[in-house]
Structure 1
Amino acid sequence: MEQVTLLEQREAVKLDSNRLEELFLLLGEASAEDVVCRALEELAARLSHTERCYRELRFDDMRKSARSLIAIAEQIGMQMLANVAQDVTRCIDHGDGTALSATLSRLLRVGECSLSEIWDLQDLTI
């Protein structure tokens, strides 16, 4: 009898609170909250778009979408998300389909965890 082990994949994400503090100091509370909320909406849309491009084999569009994730994530202190999006672009550039599949899955996990983490902050003013 074969035994199948299901590996639970969890990503521990940590937001760069210093980056968020800088944003709030630079823009003020109301403007910074607006920037963060718009960034979160855009991240969610880009993650979905990146996955859709993968399913449709549109790798040039997928690369563009992943590159935009990097800039948005860095802006609001989601460095891990930015790093994994960079890994996705490297997989596309190297034409490594197996690594791309695994790295995209990681990007989606990290993205989901990152979005949840920042939404869980009750007070964005830190």
Structure 2
Amino acid sequence: MAELARLRHDEGVRLDPDAMSAIYAELGERGAEKLISRATEDLAARLQDLRQCLADGKDAQFLRTARMLVQIGTQVGMTSVARVARDLIRATEAGDSAGRAAVLARLERIGQRSLTAVWDLHDMTV
């Protein structure tokens, strides 16, 4: 009888501490916390939007939302989010529906881990 293998997707995330430090230096503690809070809320909302766009067949909106994730990730130093969102854009533009589905699942995992990492980092600095 054949054995099935279970694959665990346990990929670490990358946060750019220099980007976070620059935000705090430029905006001060209160302004930086507002920006990071807004960015994390936007990230969570955009991840949900991607699934909805895919379900509704809204490819143009899907790409716009993926590009927003690149901007959000870059802005607050979530380098993994930005990189995988770029991969999602490339798969979508290439018409690779299987690749798009796989990269979207990866983006969702990394997005959730990045949100957790940002808040864990925030808790350590408070």
- TM normalised by structure 1 equals 0.94
- TM-fit CA distance, 1:123: 3.9
| C-alpha RMSD of the superposition | 1.1
Distance in 1, Cα, partners of 2:34 & 2:81: 20
SS at match of 1:115: helix
Q: Which position in structure 2 is the counterpart of 1:82?
A: 82
Q: Which position in structure 1 is the counterpart of 2:105?
A: 105
- TM-fit CA distance, 1:120: 1.3
Q: Which position in structure 1 is the counterpart of 2:14?
A: 14
Q: Answer yes or no: is 1:117 the counterpart of 2:111.
A: no
Greater fraction helix: 2
**Paired letter, 1:3:** E
**Paired letter, 1:74:** T
- TM-fit CA distance, 1:26: 0.4
Stretches of structure 2 that go unaligned for 5 or more consecutive residues are none
Q: Residue deviations 1:19-59, cap 9 Å, x none?
A: 00000000111000000000000000001101211122221
- TM-fit CA distance, 1:88: 0.6
Distance in 2, Cα, partners of 1:94 & 1:124: 42
**Paired letter, 1:62:** F
**Paired letter, 1:14:** R
Stretches of structure 1 that go unaligned for 5 or more consecutive residues are none
Name the CA shift for 1:39/1:85 in 2 (closer, same or farther; >3 Å).
Answer: same
Are 1:63 and 1:92, in contact at CA under 8 Å, matched by a contact in 2? yes
Runs of 4+ residues deviating >3 angstroms: none
Matches within 5 A, 1:45-60: 45-60=45-60
**Paired letter, 2:62:** M
Distance in 2, Cα, partners of 1:115 & 1:91: 24
- TM-fit CA distance, 1:85: 0.4
- TM normalised by structure 2 equals 0.94
Number of residue pairs matched?
A: 125
Q: Residue deviations 1:40-95, cap 9 Å, x none?
A: 00000001101211122221111110000110111100011001001111111110
Q: Answer yes or no: is 1:96 the counterpart of 2:96.
A: yes
Q: Residue deviations 1:84-126, cap 9 Å, x none?
A: 001111111110111111111111111011001111121457x
